[in-house]
Structure 1
Amino acid sequence: MGRELNRLATKTVQALGKGKFCDGGGLWLTKADQRRGKWSFRFMMAGRAREMGLGIWPDTSLAEARRKAEDARAKTREGLDPILERDRARRDMRRNLHLLEDVARDAFEARKAELKGDGKAGRWFSPLALHVLPKLGKMPVIEVDQIAIRDCLAPIWHKKGDTARKAVNRLSIVLRHAAALGLDVDLQATEKAKALLGKSRAISRNIPALPWPEVPGFYESLSDGTVTHLALRLLILTGVRSAPLRFIREEQIDGDVWTIPAEAMKGRKGATESFRVPLSAEALSIIDAARRHSRDGFLFPSVRKGVISDATMSRLMERRGMEARPHGFRSSLRDWLAECTDAPHEVAETMLGHATGGAVVKAYRRTDFLEQRRALLERWAGHVTGGAGQVVKLAGAGK
């Protein structure tokens, strides 16, 4: 490489036409024509001639090209290959500049297979998308510390306690995912942030439930035979959650037993146990009435496509000025079991699909108390209907 430096001048570079021109010290300009060119640095490494691109002219000026060439020469004096060193620096930059929003989405994709409905039903990503990423999403994940998390969640910490708790838990999972990617993150950042935020003053509120003595009156009012009325009636009679009820299919019913598939039960995908629900005579009559509405195998289809939504049932109760919501009927049933029956705790909890006992107990217990639950649900149906099943007027009948 020539030792004479700075042979070119800015005006000279502008005037040069097509050709290759040396500025000295290994810096070359190759011009395609008078308007376009590229800078390169030529050097010897381990007995081999090497050439390193330094940028496009005129975007990269003569002065900038000289600075880059001097940096490269410094590397060669240390016995380092400037091309390899630049590639390593770029990899380190990409590694260290992972944005939180990108890592968060990657963590969600990796975890999705474990979540019910791929995380959509439970809106796993929502706390991050609504309360964390708008403020911290563009921050490199390695820079996310307890101060940033505290400042981000402070506005909701004492107002929306449950949401804030979910957000900080999801963020902790994201940071663990970042660590697994090899990023230098502070895994204790979320715990430190919680210490800075203090104990939340937000009051956790249970989903409002209709007191069990008032359920018969509401049940009786659901007499139009519409999909919404029938779905709410069966929800009340069985004590199941909204999702498996809304997605109930004809083939899941065998005689007087409804078997909910394992993947439809609350929890993670990959569950191995289905759940049997004994159907009272009243429940069977509701199912029979719902069959005339069935579409694509679903007993409770929506007007357009798919199945009835949870919001549809909730809106019916809301329009009536009720605070209670559909999910609350599980509490109504549970309170009735506690106050009006002698059902053992394990049986009452099983009626709601709750797991009871430790791992050892569950490993040895093989019963799901089907017959005990059948008798209790018949009694519950008797309470709900006032002692006798109510006549259901089929929607559209008599028109």
Structure 2
Amino acid sequence: MTRTKDRLSAVAVKQSPAGKYADGGGLWLVKSSKETGKWVLRVVVQGRRREMGLGSLPEVGLAEVRKTADKWRAIVRDGGDPIKERVRQKREAARNLHLLKDVTTDCFEAIKGNLRGQGKAGRWLSPLELHVLPKLGKVPVADLDQVDIRDTLKPLRDTKFETMRKALNRLDMVVRHAAALGLDVDTQVVEKAKALIGASQHKAVNIPAMPWQEVPAFYQSLSDGSVTHLALRLLIITGVRSRPLRFLRVDHIAGDVWTVPADLMKGREGATGEFRVPLSKEALSLIEQAKRHARGGLLFPSIRRGVVSDMTLSRYMERRKLEARPHGFRSSLRDWLAECTDAPHEVAETILGHKVGGAVERAYRRTDFIDQRAKLMERWADHCTGKARPASAV
């Protein structure tokens, strides 16, 4: 009796020359040479003959290909199309490989060049790593839905609103990155989640600032010459943000101008360019005093490694039982400029490193008002040190 299946032997598979050889049940070996070939399964689906490849020689052996052929024949017997089923399974497998945590990593790698300090501080990733990925990281990004996002982030709505906002915005970037990769995702899923989360009872709270009239007394109390005292004094005198001050290096200073590199300015790296800070006589004196603490070119090092932290400066003010925080001294300065000088709006805003006017206006304005700012900052230094002159126009 002639066998309808399993006609070939392992020896025949190996030794046969180029040609077509039937193993039975629609399984064929098509050899292009004695050493190479491919396996083909021929099936009839809804009256149509279909062929599907099952692998090549010598990668796929006889025993393995027979098991694979049996699996696809079973699908045909159940009325299915094995080729469509294989495509579906491949899509499913591909989708499962693109988990949210993996796409998040890929998205971060793609955008980190635009982040301050190449994103090394981890601030871009932290809202996702702390509040999203622990619950949704192993979900295929194609399966991500608005209900899952809502359930994950809504608990933050009234307690950590800003963290929730950042998490949602960054998750939206990840989803759009997945779409750019060609994955089947709902690019509106985050917007839908926002609608489900609803309005927050959160009220934005400004960082507490010290009234400008009280700044001199506090400034003059910072008198022990420590890194913390000197850092706070220079922060107050210059009106800069904490990050540029904490990472101040000796080589950032040239004469009476401190040039803050672009990557230390607020926002994306390079977005605002370098920023020149005019240094008053008092500021220059503080920098000279800070040089004795310098380590590795950094003027305000921490005790162990790196630079003095934001927390160190804030905690100092907490211990002094003060409501105000270091960043609030920028507001103190801005209020003083408004109430005690006739500084033009654009000059006052530039002192704080704020953008003034639209993109076109900024493109045509070539000045950073360095001379006008220098005079104002000298007067601010006099105010802080108790040497203030009567207010007059600049």
Matches within 5 A, 1:47-66: none
Match of 1:245 in 2: 245
Question: Which residue number corresponds to residue 4 of structure 2?
Answer: 3
Are 1:143 and 2:143 counterparts? yes
* Structure 1 gap segments, 5+ residues each: 6-22, 28-40, 57-64, 389-399
- CA–CA distance in structure 2, aligned partners of residues 239 and 225 of structure 1: 20
Deviates more, 1:105-114 or 1:297-306: 297-306
Other structure's SS at 1:259 match:
strand
SS in 2 for 1:148: helix
Map of 1:293 onto structure 2: 293
The answer to whether 1:360 aligns with 2:356 is no
- Which amino acid is the alignment partner of residue 213 of structure 1? Q
Alignment-derived partner of residue 386 in structure 1: 386
2:265 and 2:272 in contact (8 A); partners too: no
SS across alignment from 2:258? strand
Residue pairs, 1:18-167, within 5 angstroms = 69-73=69-73, 88=87, 91-97=90-96, 98-121=98-121, 123-167=123-167
Within-5 A mapping of 1:340-359: 340-359=340-359
Asked whether the equivalents of residues 258 and 278 of structure 2 are also in contact (C-alpha less than 8 Å), the reply is yes
Cα deviation, residue 272, structure 1: 6.7
**Letter of the structure 2 residue corresponding to residue 384 of structure 1:** C
The change in CA–CA distance for 1:200 and 1:2 in structure 2 (over 3 A counts) is: farther
Given that 2:146 and 2:190 are in contact with CA atoms closer than 8 Å, whether structure 1 keeps it comes out as: yes
Structure-2 residue corresponding to 1:313:
313
Counterparts in 2 of 1:47 and 1:124: CA distance versus 1, 3 Å: closer
Give the 3 Å change call, closer, same or farther, for CA 215–89 of structure 1 in structure 2. Answer: same
The Cα shift of 1:113 comes to 0.9
Q: Give CA deviations for 1:97-131 in whole Å, capped at 9, x if unaligned.
A: 22111111211111111100122447011111111
Rounded to whole Å, the distance in 2 between the matches of 1:142 and 1:42 is 33
1:74-95 superposed Cα distances (whole Å, 9 cap, x missing partner): 6899xx997x888755542332
Deviation at 1:73, TM superposition (A): 3.0
Take 1:43 and 1:224, find their aligned partners in 2: how far apart are those partners?
85
Equivalence for 2:275: 275
- The reply to whether residue 208 of structure 1 matches residue 223 of structure 2 is no
Output the CA distance in 2 between the equivalents of 1:330 and 1:231. Answer: 14
Write the distance in 2 (CA, Å) between the matches of 1:130 and 1:367.
Answer: 43
Aligned to 1:328: 328
C-alpha deviation, 1:257, in angstroms: 0.9
Maintained 8 Å contact 1:95/1:183: no
Once the two structures are TM-superposed, the CA of residue 42 in structure 1 deviates from its matched residue by 7.0
The CA deviation at 1:273 is: 2.5
| Alpha-carbon distance in structure 1 between the residues aligned to 2:206 and 2:327 | 10
| Amino acid aligned to 1:331 | S
Quote the RMSD (CA, aligned, Å).
3.2
Tell me if structure 1 keeps the 8 A contact 2:179–2:185.
Answer: yes
Q: Which residue in the other structure is 1:395 paired with?
A: none
How many angstroms does 1:169 deviate by?
Answer: 0.6
2:100–2:141: 8 Å Cα contact kept in structure 1?
Answer: yes
TM-score in terms of structure 2 length: 0.79
- Can you list the C-alpha shifts for 1:16-75, whole angstroms capped at 9, x where unaligned? xxxxxxx98589xxxxxxxxxxxxx9766689996757999xxxxxxxx97x54332368
Q: Check the 8 A contact 1:142/1:184 in 2, yes or no.
A: yes
The alpha-carbon distance between structure 1 residues 195 and 54, as it changes in their structure 2 partners (threshold 3 A), is farther
Counterparts of 1:295 and 1:141 in 2: how far apart (Å)?
Answer: 46
Distance 2:134 2:24 in 1: 50
Report the AA paired with residue 3 of structure 1.
T
Counting matched residue pairs gives 346
Check the 8 A contact 1:146/1:190 in 2, yes or no: yes
SS in 2 for 1:307: coil
Cα 1:44–1:150 change in 2 (3 A) is closer
Cα pair distance change 1:53/1:229, threshold 3 Å = farther
1:199 is matched with 199
Distance 1:302 1:93, change over 3 A: same
Cα distance in 2 for partners of 1:262, 1:159 equals 33
Report deviation, 1:219: 0.7
Using a 3 Å threshold, how does the CA distance of structure 1 residues 4 and 290 change in structure 2: closer, same or farther? closer
**1:157-197 Cα deviation digits (max 9, x unpaired):** 12221111111111110100010111111111111111122
Quote the sequence identity (%).
63
Matched, 1:169 2:169: yes
Distance of 2:244 and 2:86 partners within structure 1: 53
Question: 2:101, 2:355 → 1: CA distance?
Answer: 36
Change in 2 beyond 3 A, CA 1:329/1:42: same
8 Å contact from structure 1 (residues 159, 201) kept in 2: no
Could you say which residue in structure 1 is the equivalent of 2:373?
Answer: 373
Tell me if structure 2 keeps the 8 A contact 1:2–1:26.
no
Whether contact under 8 Å (2:209, 2:324) holds in the other structure is yes
Q: Which residue of 2 aligns with 1:225?
A: 225
Q: For the residues of structure 1 that align with 2:53 and 2:175, how far apart are their CA atoms?
A: 44
